[in-house]
Amino acid sequence: MTSLGVYLRGILMGAADIVPGVSGGTMAFITGIYDDLLGAIRAVDLEFARKVLKLDIRGAWEHINGGFLLALLLGIVTAVATLAQLLSWVLEYHPVPLWAFFFGLILASSLVLLKQVPAWNTGRLVCLAAGIAVAVTIALAPMVNLDFGLPGVFLAGFLAICAMILPGISGSFILVLIGMYGPTLLAVKSLDLAYLAVLATGAVFGLMVFSRLLHWLLQRFHEATMALLTGFLFGSLLVVWPWKRVLAWVESSSGGLKPAQQVPVLPDSFLVQTGTDPQTLLCMALMVFGFCLVWLVERRWGQEAGASP
């Protein structure tokens, strides 16, 4: 896999992370670099620390597949720097068509992942159903409150980063569900360094622990794990369904209100309940476009990634 290919995948991951409810891990799965990403993160271990302390920078770089991580990070940063404002504007003024586009992306991603399980049996079907059930529960769950001091902040960072590297589940969405989105937003605005340091520490621990767990599962129970993660993707379709009724709100980064709990509705019900044009034909066209885009990406890069060691 070339550095340019990894960089382009990073752009896709960064673009996905910008939109609430969509995970960069989803794009990593679509483009076939999920295993490589987990392996690189898992390589930040005691051996890596030993090489750094011995000033063996070249050895440490090679140990964590530094070229891969650098190209991926540059792609993510590029996407955030160039697309954040555009996607934020679209999300604010044309949210329904944007969610329709992402619905098509994730639906196609789910079907692509189904191909990663060559033979289905009862156990793998149970894993698929479990993944769907977990994602649906998260998507429809009301907020809980973990705002009980710095231990809650640590746990919030731990859970959010775990969600970010799972396909189909957004870390920011998890923060909303556990009641920590508002406090975290306030800490960022006020530069509460103690809060942010504890949050980052929790995220680092979560990344180290969860990436190793996922890597171990993929190595030992690859098909069952893929079935479970595919279920996460199918279940997350409720998160990006374009027509929703809001049940609860939370403060957004702009100081306004952001949906904290929503339930999907049909376009006709959306029109009646919100008084907003559901733009059904446009949304259906964007769903198809997003669906086709994923299949094109998978055909162009999925095969290449699958051939990589």
Sequence spans of domains, the chain: 3-306
The burial class, CB within 10 Å (0-12 / 13-18 / 19+), for 90 is middle
The burial class, CB within 10 Å (0-12 / 13-18 / 19+), for 203 is buried
- pLDDT for the residue 154: 92
Which structure tokens are listed for 100? 């329709």
Give the residue among 33, 28, 8, 11 at the shortest CA–CA distance from 304.
33
Question: What is the rounded distance in angstroms from the CA atom of residue 165 to the CA atom of residue 233?
Answer: 13
Query: CA 14 from chain center: how many Å?
Result: 10
pLDDT in tens, the chain (309 residues): 688 888 988 888 887 776 655 677 777 877 778 878 888 888 888 888 888 888 888 998 998 888 999 999 899 888 877 876 777 678 778 889 988 988 888 788 788 778 778 888 999 999 999 989 988 887 777 666 666 678 888 998 898 888 777 776 667 667 766 767 767 777 877 788 888 899 989 988 888 888 888 888 888 888 898 898 888 888 878 878 899 887 766 665 556 666 666 788 999 998 888 888 999 999 999 999 988 887 886 676 554 444 333
Taking the CA atoms of residue 309, residue 204, residue 19 and residue 255 in that order, the dihedral angle to the nearest 10 degrees is: -170
The burial class, CB within 10 Å (0-12 / 13-18 / 19+), for 119 is exposed
